[in-house]
Amino acid sequence: MRREMEVNMRKVAQCGILISLALVLSYVERLIPLEIFVPLPGIKLGLANIVTIFALFYVDMQSAVIISVIRCILAAMLFGSVTSFLFSISGAFASLVVMSLIKRGCDHYFSIIGVGVGGAAAHNVGQIWMASFLLHSTSVYSYLTVLLVASIVTGLLTGKISGSVLFQLNKLHVLKEVKN
Amino acid sequence: MITLSKKLRWGDLLLIAFVLGLAAVNFILFMPKGNADVTAVITKDGKIFREIYLQNLQERIVIEDKDRHHILIEAECGRIHFVSSDCPDEVCVKTGWISKVGQSAACVPAGILIKIVGKSSDTDMLLK
């Protein structure tokens, strides 16, 4: 009983820390003027996805879902709108589903970079699906081509960063605490 | 416990190839086509709001919408764009001029979509 409560409290604290980290990362990526280098409106690095990948690998699916949902709500309240919330939540769910599927094959077939790329691509598909749903039109899909190509680059980056973070933390043996 | 590999696995390469393939298929299906007989269709919340025949357009047409956001749309010969918008992200304004069949510019917060249509947009009909 006591042990169970301790685990629960640890989980709540972990989720809180990871949500705030994800929120900071989604703020930081707004400061990066990516549109100067790549002339695509609405393109983002998806740095907050690093936190989701971390949660997916070292906490559990439940926490990963909680973290991304609360992050989406808070980010929309702080620097977004209702539409930006709908976009990010549909993207977040699509990427969570795809990333958890890819994670299952992580022992044999994929590396963590694959999780990043799959998550980024699924996020864009989810967003464009939501846009076409809101606008009652399929013509927004013409924009998906460039977004998918861009998502390979951003996914490689976030996957690589997540891999390095997990690798370093593994070396420090701090993840045993997180794992249970 | 998952063993972390720092290197790309073959599954990753396959996944990247799959995403590229998806992008290619998407490009073929929704490719912006050459400008023959272009009309800009402006829809608001899915309903047609205004249609402008862009070919041989003599004067400049400015459309204003103040419903949810203050939006200015400008059309001239062969092309159309969002001039300004007070929506939070301004993706619509950053999209810039559109002129080819299949291209679109959208202001999702205001529910406004500009779509360039022409006689050749049969794939669009097919997918609806």
DSSP track, B63-123: EEE-SSS-EEEEEETTEEEEEEE-SSS-HHHHH--B-SBT-EEEEGGGTEEEEEE-TT-HH
**Residues 97-126 (B) with a CB less than 8 A from some CB of A:** 102-104, 106, 108-109, 111, 113, 115, 124
Is A109's CB within 8 Å of B10's CB? yes
Residue B68 CB-density burial (10 A; 0-12 exposed, 13-18 middle, 19+ buried): middle
Q: Could you say which residues from 17 to 56 on chain A have a Cβ atom under 8 Å away from some Cβ of chain B?
A: 35, 41-42
Substitution target from A135, A140, A167 for chain B, most B beta carbons within 10 A: A135
Side-chain half-sphere CA neighbours of A137 within 13 A:
28
Does residue B5 have a pLDDT over 70? no
- What is the spatial order of strands in the sheet that B47-53 belongs to? B47-53, B39-44, B112-117, B104-107
Closest by Cα among B22, B108, B24 to A98: B22
Helix axes A2-31, A48-58, angle to 10 degrees: 160
Residues B124 and A138: beta-carbon distance below 8 Å: yes
Predicted local confidence at residue B102, as pLDDT: 79
Q: Does the structure show a pLDDT above 70 at B45? A: yes
Contact B30 A81 (CB under 8 A): no
Q: pLDDT per residue over A28-64, tens digit each?
A: 988 887 777 777 777 889 899 999 999 998 888 999 9
Using CA atoms, how far apart are residues A18 and A8, in angstroms rounded to an integer?
15
**Mean of pLDDT over chain A:** 88
Chain B nearest CA to A64, separation (Å): 17
Other beta carbons within 10 angstroms of residue A93's beta carbon come to 17
Sort out which chain B residues have CB atoms less than 8 A from A109's CB and list them.
Answer: 9-11
Q: Given CB atoms, is B30 within the 8 Å cutoff of chain A?
A: yes
A-B CB pairs within 8 A amount to 126
Q: Please state the pTM of the whole predicted model.
A: 0.72
Query: pLDDT-derived band of residue B121, with 50, 70 and 90 as boundaries?
Result: very low
Q: What is the pLDDT of residue B3?
A: 54
- Residues of chain B positioned with their CB less than 8 A from the CB of A163: 4, 6
The lowest-confidence range among A4-13, A32-41, B90-99, B105-114 is A32-41
Q: Pick from A57, A117, A138: which is nearest to B15 by CB? A: A117
- CA dist A66 and A12 (Å) reads 10
Residues of chain A by 3-state class (helix, strand, coil), percent to 5: 85, 0, 15
Model ipTM value: 0.85
Indicate the residue of B9, B22, B104 with minimum beta-carbon distance to A111: B9
**What backbone torsions phi and psi does residue B76 show, to the nearest 5 degrees?**
-135, -175
Q: 3-state DSSP call for residue A6?
A: helix
Task: Tell me the one-letter amino acid at B99.
Answer: S
- The arithmetic mean of pLDDT across residues B101-111, rounded, is 86
The tokens for A153 are 């680059």
For the beta carbon of residue B120, count every other beta carbon within 10 angstroms. 15
CB-CB neighbors (< 8 A) of B10 in chain A: 109
Query: Nearest CA to CA, how far is B123 from chain A (Å)?
Result: 10
